[in-house]
A and B are shown apart, each in its own frame.
Chain A
């Protein structure tokens, strides 16, 4: 597996056979805290890559930086061969890199179908003057609506088509946000904790949707805490801790990596707590 994706051995910052996103020297500091400090990372095209790490590892900040929602102190990155550093978020999306948010952003007072329609790119009717001339955008609108309906069906939201998005459950909103991102036909879809707050029954169908994305040729990069899920669907795992990339590789191997275990469980995970206590008592503490 490592050979299909990476050139050479799997190691933090290793080169990929066919990267879609390459980031170099991305640093983001909040005052004295360095939230993100990524020297080099490549995201493989057409694969599902999981970005994991403990709370506060800088995963979401890294997402925000890559998509233009936050500005780094330094760093460059290219998407599909084109420089993307300092590009406004809406232009990032137009280039084919569409993200979702950890705290779901369903547009509550729009219907589900309008949420979906809004996701489509290059809409003629979104121009001010063109919006008055319905014949200019009617056909495109029908096309968009047809796309939206088929996606809603795939995500089992078709029954909710005319409901306000605000009336959906948390899990359904996650689904809607993912489906809406797909309306833009992204080359790379970036999902920030797609499973957070989703019930287990729905998780299974979400996993299937993410796998479907890959089979349609879309690259997926997602942040997740659930190890079971990561193991189940990802082709490649990148581990972040304290802002840095500490490990990379196929899921089965990464899980065994000492750096990952340290990052998640602490560097002294294998030390018996009982022994620590006895030692400290003996030392007179």
Chain B
């Protein structure tokens, strides 16, 4: 593997639909945590509901693409309401506990044999994206070369759509956060009792934030499963949620472009580390490592980088240093 192919792979990681899926989940988490202060450790479940909702509506209900998208969104909104109504009146930590548990429960349920007729069990669902790829206006024989990585027409199409969704999400967030509505959310993040004393229905705002952040994540989930047209329970483990958190904190929690920067940096870094370590193992420079361990060891290195980042740049890449100084 040469330098060009290393950078081609990293470049592809920057813009891949998987990266975008995570970025959208991180934007949703920015609504939850960055703006409202809600500790959601079950973002994987919102994304999974987007993916499963879309796939089930397409395969079982034979709905068209728009109906399927809507169904995916409704699934995650319903989930947000079910989780939020009992827990948002309680202290912040309860939401964290409930979301992480609910996300795990959901993942076990969709992978179980009971749910197999609908969800496909542990094998999951596949081939639900035909209509999406039929909408592709690009010529079918088009290929796009990104260094040594060659993208087909369909692969270019999903990247265009994915990034268009990101742009729309950012515009949506921009409108929300500069409005008085966004101001109430930030107030709740700082001190919800103070906001209550000023006559705002804090519970309602928290529920709205949970639903909106969850909906953005479910769009991310749909794009995530659309690139390979496969949706399996193993996609949506707790590591999905924690990678989303890493991306959010990398970029800066209460910023608009933070999740985008964080997501791109994270996946480019993962790919780079994997390639470089792979080369080093091949060349016999790392005798204690086997090739198949490389994919695991990169998580360790990323964890280390994340720790250093949190220590030396707690506001993330695009956060405001001033905002960090008043904690406590």
Whether the Cβ atoms of B208 and A110 lie closer than 8 Å is no
Answer whether residue A213 sits at the interface, using C-beta atoms and an 8 A cutoff: no
Whether the Cβ atoms of B180 and A107 lie closer than 8 Å is no
Q: Which B residues are CB-close (under 8 A) to A126?
A: 180-181, 183-184, 200
Answer whether residue A109 sits at the interface, using C-beta atoms and an 8 A cutoff: yes
Nearest CB in chain A to that of B196: its residue: A89
Of B180, B184, B201, the contact of A137 (CB 8 Å cutoff): B180
Residues of chain A in range 133-191 having any CB-CB distance to chain B below 8 Å: 134, 137, 141, 164, 166-167, 177, 180-181, 183-184
Interface segment among B42-50, B77-85, B186-194: the answer is: B186-194
Residues of chain A in range 101-149 having any CB-CB distance to chain B below 8 Å: 101, 105-110, 114, 117-119, 121, 123-128, 130-132, 134, 137, 141
Whether the Cβ atoms of A117 and B183 lie closer than 8 Å is yes
Whether the Cβ atoms of A69 and B193 lie closer than 8 Å is yes
Known: A90-B199, A126-B200. A107 touches B190 (CB 8 A): yes
Q: Which A residues are CB-close (under 8 A) to B184?
A: 118, 126
Within the assembled complex, what's the spacing in Å between the Cα atoms of A142 and B181?
Answer: 15
Residues of chain A in range 190-206 having any CB-CB distance to chain B below 8 Å: none
Interface bin, chain B? 20 to 34
Whether the Cβ atoms of B180 and A93 lie closer than 8 Å is no
Answer whether residue A98 sits at the interface, using C-beta atoms and an 8 A cutoff: yes
Within the assembled complex, what's the spacing in Å between the Cα atoms of A128 and B179?
Answer: 9
Q: Which A residues are CB-close (under 8 A) to B181?
A: 125-128, 130-131
Answer whether residue B326 sits at the interface, using C-beta atoms and an 8 A cutoff: yes
Report the count of interface residues on A (CB-CB < 8 A).
43
Answer whether residue B296 sits at the interface, using C-beta atoms and an 8 A cutoff: no
Q: Which B residues are CB-close (under 8 A) to A110?
A: 183, 186-187, 190
Nearest CB in chain A to that of B324: its residue: A109
Answer whether residue A99 sits at the interface, using C-beta atoms and an 8 A cutoff: yes
Within the assembled complex, what's the spacing in Å between the Cα atoms of A118 and B194?
Answer: 10
Answer whether residue A219 sits at the interface, using C-beta atoms and an 8 A cutoff: no
Whether the Cβ atoms of B322 and A164 lie closer than 8 Å is yes
21 chain-A/chain-B pairs, Cβ below 8 angstroms: A67-B197, A69-B196, A90-B196, A90-B199, A90-B202, A93-B198, A105-B197, A107-B187, A109-B323, A117-B183, A118-B184, A118-B187, A118-B198, A118-B200, A121-B199, A125-B180, A131-B179, A132-B175, A134-B179, A141-B180, A166-B325
**Which residues of A does B touch, CB under 8 Å?**
67, 69, 88-91, 93-94, 98-101, 105-110, 114, 117-119, 121, 123-128, 130-132, 134, 137, 141, 164, 166-167, 177, 180-181, 183-184
**Which residues of B does A touch, CB under 8 Å?**
175-176, 179-184, 186-187, 189-191, 193-202, 208, 254, 322-323, 325-326
